[in-house]
Structure 1
Amino acid sequence: MRDTINEGMKLDESDLPDEYDMASSEYLQYFKLRLRGRERYFLEKIDAALQRIEEGTFGLCEVCGEEIGMARLMARPETTLCIRCKETQERQERQFTE
C-alpha cells in the first residue's frame, strides 16, 4: 500500500513546464498586471475629468487657472494642465532626475 501511495506521489518530469515556459508564463502574467494597472489609472483620470465637467472646472488648468487649449483637450481630454504648466512640470522633473 505504501509503495502504491509513494508511486502515485512521484512527479513525472514531462508533466512539469520547462524553464522557458515558466519564464514566458511569468512575463505574460507581469505584462497583464501592468496593463490592468495602466487601464485602472486611465479610468481614474477619466472619472476625474467627468467630475470636473460636473463641477464646471473642466478645461481649466489646475495650476494657473487658465483655459487649456482646445487642441490639447482634443488630444488628451483627461489633462489637467495647460501646455505651459505641463512644460514647466516636465522641466522640473528632468532637473530632479539628473
Structure 2
Amino acid sequence: MSAPETLPSAAELLAAPESDYMSDRQLAFFRALLIRERDALLASAHETTLHLQEFETTPDPSDRASLEEDHTLELRVRDRERKLLHKIDRCLERIDNRTYGWCEDSGEPIGIARLLARPTATLSIEAQAYHEAKRRMRAS
C-alpha cells in the first residue's frame, strides 16, 4: 500500500508549468481548500444558530433594540455565508466534472493566482471585468 500523495503548496501551484494546469494534484488541492472553507462556514452557522436560540430578555427598550440589531446583522452575515456555501458546492461539482478552473464564458483558464485569491471564481479576470462593466452600464 503506497503512502497518500501530499497536496502541493500554494507556492508549488504558482510555480507549476502551464501543462500542469488543473492536474489531479491541483484539483485535489482546491478540493481540500474548498472543503476546509465549507467546514468553517458550517461551524460558524452552527454557532450562530446556538447563539440566536439563547433568548435574552431585557426590560430596557434600547438594550432590546441593540440586541435585535445584532441579531439582524448576524443573520445578514449568515445569509452571505449561505450563498458562499452554495458557490462552494458548485465548485466541488465542477472539480468532479473537471470544469473547475476554466472560465464559464470563454473556456480559458481562470488562473491559479485568481483561484488562490478567490477559490469560488467561475470567470477569468477579463470575463469578470466585462460582466461588471455591463452591470454598471445597466445601472446607469
Matched with 2:67 is 25
SS at structure 2 position matched to 1:47 = helix
Which residue is 2:37 aligned to? none
CA RMSD of aligned residues (A): 1.5
Cα distance between partner residues in 1 of 2:62 and 2:93: 46
Matched, 1:88 2:130: yes
Contact 2:103 2:124 in 1 (8 A): yes
Output the CA distance in 2 between the equivalents of 1:16 and 1:74: 45
With the length of structure 2 as denominator, give the TM-score of the two structures.
0.56
TM-score, structure 1 length as denominator?
Answer: 0.79
Q: Distance in 2 between matches of 1:39 and 1:80?
A: 17
Q: Percent identity?
A: 45
Query: Which stretches of structure 1, 4 residues or longer, exceed 4 Å deviation after superposition?
Result: none
Q: The residue matched to 2:100 in structure 1 has which SS?
A: coil
Q: Structure with the greater relative contact order (CA < 8 A, sep ≥ 6): 1 or 2?
A: 2
Q: What is the rounded CA distance, in whole Å, between the counterparts of 2:94 and 2:119 in structure 1?
A: 11
Q: 1:46 aligns with which of 70, 88, 92?
A: 88
Report how many residues are paired: 84
State the SS of the aligned residue for 1:58: coil
